[in-house]
């Protein structure tokens, strides 16, 4: 088992002030490892990076079509959103269409990351509700699937038919028996897999047209394309997922997860990427993802939406540049193609 590799470093003046270590894997659509850093077999809780896998049974089962879901709802089912009005209004309308409401969610309330939404709540003297939870779209998807499956209201129970269906899709696409789960921030079980398995799942979705069949193939393509079509719905203004998906084009999808996880689904290349920063830092997972996208020829390092993740300046309170965040030389290799 390899140790975590130094992937990202923080400089200040002439010094490397800090280092972020982690693991990263690139797989092809057959699940073969094309490149890896650190330990590709590291058992990983992928957190929100695998919402597309958690949404698979929603589409595969026919529940999405029965409920008449469009691409916006499918994108929201795979989203970690900012709780802006563009997100919460759509989730509220979706549940309303099912005859359900905020009280049926089990994700918990969360103060929205979106500035205007926060200000609106403050101005109204209100706290956040469950619609503001970054996972409310995923949970609306769970509720839609639950309507189809006829389970009870506690759809986040790991033994509930909704979560059993999620585990089935997760294991099918990772090609692994999950060693277990942790409870996520939104109370849903988050199933573990090796980082290689997670990258392989994303690669199978990227290459769905050639490696998947039937309803699974259709579901993978529809969810992947819905995420690519609605960058702002999967995260929000200023967020890495939204800005990278919008700027990469070509159907490429990237998705973050808590505690330093990031995945990429690259249909044009038929590749999947998964990375995990050992210490959980988002500044490092974003930089490492950008570095891999450049090395895979998917991203232009000079594009402003890429450059601000790949090599952001660090500014102090007087707006003086004090240092930078950058991929380590060993990891980035000057942007050399993989």
Interacting residues toward a copy of itself by CB under 8 A:
4, 10, 12-15, 17-21, 43, 45, 106-110, 122, 133, 180-187, 190, 192, 259-260, 277-281, 284, 316-320, 322-323
For the chain, the straight-line distance linking the first and the last C-alpha, in angstroms and rounded, comes to: 23
**CB closer to a copy of itself, 197 vs 260:** 260
Helices of type H across the chain = 51-54, 56-60, 63-66, 71-77, 85-97, 115-123, 136-149, 161-174, 195-206, 208-211, 214-229, 231-234, 240-248, 282-295, 304-310, 329-332
**CB closer to a copy of itself, 29 vs 325:** 325
**CB closer to a copy of itself, 105 vs 212:** 105
**CB closer to a copy of itself, 187 vs 247:** 187
Q: Report the nearest approach of a copy of itself to the CB of residue 81 (Å).
A: 14
Q: How far is Cα 330 from Cα 67, in angstroms, rounded to an integer?
A: 49
Q: Report the nearest approach of a copy of itself to the CB of residue 43 (Å).
A: 6
What lies within 8 Å, CB to CB, of 252 at 6+ separation is 228, 245, 264, 265, 266, 267, 268, 293, 298
**CB closer to a copy of itself, 122 vs 250:** 122
DSSP per residue, 130-179: GGGSTTHHHHHHHHHHHHHHT--S-TTSTTSHHHHHHHHHHHHHHTS---
Q: Report the nearest approach of a copy of itself to the CB of residue 9 (Å).
A: 10
Which run of H or of E encompasses 43? strand 43-44
**CB closer to a copy of itself, 302 vs 318:** 318
**CB closer to a copy of itself, 220 vs 325:** 325
Bin 42: left if φ > 0, else alpha if -120 < ψ < 50, else beta: beta
Residues of 127-148 as b/e, b for ≥16 C-beta within 10 angstroms? ebbbbbbbbbbbbbbbbbbbbb
**CB closer to a copy of itself, 194 vs 269:** 194
Q: Report the nearest approach of a copy of itself to the CB of residue 316 (Å).
A: 5
- Location of structure tokens 């919008």: 246
Q: Report the nearest approach of a copy of itself to the CB of residue 284 (Å).
A: 7
**CB closer to a copy of itself, 69 vs 167:** 167
Let me know if 280 is exposed, middle or buried by CB neighbors in 10 A (0-12, 13-18, 19+): middle
Q: Report the nearest approach of a copy of itself to the CB of residue 91 (Å).
A: 15
Distances (CA, A) of 171 to 52, 98, 168, 176, 193: 13, 29, 5, 5, 8
Q: Report the nearest approach of a copy of itself to the CB of residue 130 (Å).
A: 9
* Structure token digits, residue 227: 């995420």
Q: Report the nearest approach of a copy of itself to the CB of residue 111 (Å).
A: 10
Q: Report the nearest approach of a copy of itself to the CB of residue 44 (Å).
A: 8
């Amino acid at each position: 088992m390899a140790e975590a590799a130094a992937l990202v470093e923080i400089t200040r003046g002439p010094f490397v002030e800090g280092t972020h270590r982690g693991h990263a894997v690139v797989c092809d659509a057959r699940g073969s490892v094309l490149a890896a850093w650190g330990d590709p077999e590291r058992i990983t809780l992928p957190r929100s990076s695998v919402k597309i896998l958690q949404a698979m049974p929603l589409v595969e089962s026919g529940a999405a079509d029965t409920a008449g879901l469009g691409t916006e709802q499918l994108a929201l089912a795979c989203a970690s959103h900012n709780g802006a009005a563009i997100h919460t209004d759509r989730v509220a309308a979706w549940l309303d269409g099912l005859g359900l409401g905020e009280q049926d969610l089990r994700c918990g309330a969360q103060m929205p990351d979106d500035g205007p939404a926060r200000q609106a709540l403050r101005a109204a003297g209100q706290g956040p509700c469950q619609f503001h939870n970054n996972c409310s779209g995923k949970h609306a998807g769970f509720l839609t699937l639950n309507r189809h499956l006829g389970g009870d209201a506690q759809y986040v129970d790991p033994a509930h038919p909704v979560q059993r269906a999620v585990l089935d899709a997760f294991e099918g696409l990772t090609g692994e028996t999950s060693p277990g789960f942790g409870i996520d921030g939104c109370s849903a079980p988050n199933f573990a897999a090796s980082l290689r398995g997670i990258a392989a799942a994303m690669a199978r979705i990227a290459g769905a047209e050639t490696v998947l069949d039937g309803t699974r193939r259709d579901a993978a393509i529809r969810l992947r394309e819905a995420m690519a079509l609605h960058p702002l719905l999967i995260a929000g203004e200023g967020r890495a997922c939204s800005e990278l998906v919008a700027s990469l084009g070509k159907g490429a999808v990237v998705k973050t997860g808590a505690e330093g996880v990031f995945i990429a689904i690259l249909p044009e290349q038929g590749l999947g990427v998964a990375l995990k920063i050992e210490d959980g830092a988002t500044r490092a997972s974003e930089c490492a993802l950008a570095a891999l996208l450049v090395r895979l020829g998917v991203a232009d390092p000079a594009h402003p939406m890429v450059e601000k993740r790949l090599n952001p300046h660090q500014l102090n309170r007087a707006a003086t540049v004090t240092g930078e965040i950058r991929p380590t030389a060993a990891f980035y290799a000057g942007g050399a193609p993989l």
